[in-house]
Amino acid sequence: MSLRHAILGFLSFQPCSGYDLKRAFDSSVQHFWPANQSQIYRTMAELDEQGYVEKEVVARKERLDMKVYRITDAGREELRRWLRTPQPPQDNREPLLIQVYFGGHLTDSELLHVLKHTRDEACERIRVYTAIYETVMSQPRSIDDPRAVFLATLTLEYGLIGARALLPWLDSAIERIRAGDYTLKSLSQLIGAAS
């Protein structure tokens, strides 16, 4: 149930409409918690019912009404409670690993095709994250709380490191399949290759 709390998080910065929130998600946490518009509107209605947010309808002449949501004291408390509670590790499903696990049914070239495709995607992600990282670092940032900026940047670092960790694994797998070398690596070799 992190979506509720991500929404409360954004509202803790400033009151937002559903539309504003959607943009906030897309421009910041979408890499580790994508949210779509229907979901946001539904969840905000729930948060409203539960008293974690307040709705204010802003009538705008000649336009549709806009609903601005504001976090309540109860909402702030709930947010803080959740933020400091370690979350149970959630299993991330990896279709690629299913493909590798049952890859005995594929030829070398079919397998290599899948692995190379994954490698290209990892490189692309690294490129994107690197570009964002450079943009963040080149900004002045005199107004903002440096601790909050640091924490936001940590999530970017996570994405970068995660994508980079994939490469040695992919490269070693590709190499070994190409060479037809199906011997298992010793643990020390594995760790050496990973670091």
Which contiguous run of DSSP H or E holds residue 132? helix 108-138
Cα–Cα distance list, 49 to 15, 43, 45, 58 (Å) = 17, 10, 6, 19
Q: What is the dihedral of CA 146, 151, 155, 157, to 10 degrees?
A: 60
Identify residues 154-193 at the interface with DNA (CB under 7 A).
Answer: none
Q: Restricting to residues 103-162, name those near its own copies by CB under 8 A.
A: 103-106, 110-111, 113-114, 117-118, 121, 125, 130, 133-134, 136-137, 145-155, 157-158, 160-162
Least distance to DNA, CB of residue 55, Å: 8
Residue closer to DNA (CB basis): 43 or 118: 43
* Six-digit token string for 192: 């050496």
The gap between the terminal CA atoms of the chain, to the nearest Å, is 34
Residue 160 touches which of DNA, its own copies, none (Cβ within 5-8 Å per kind) = its own copies
**Where in 72-111 is the site for DNA (CB under 7 A)?**
91, 93
| Residue 34 contacts DNA per CB under 7 A | yes
Q: Please, are residues 52 and 72 in contact by the beta-carbon 8 Å criterion?
A: yes
Contact set with DNA (CB under 7 A): 1-3, 17-20, 23, 34-39, 41-42, 45, 62-68, 91, 93
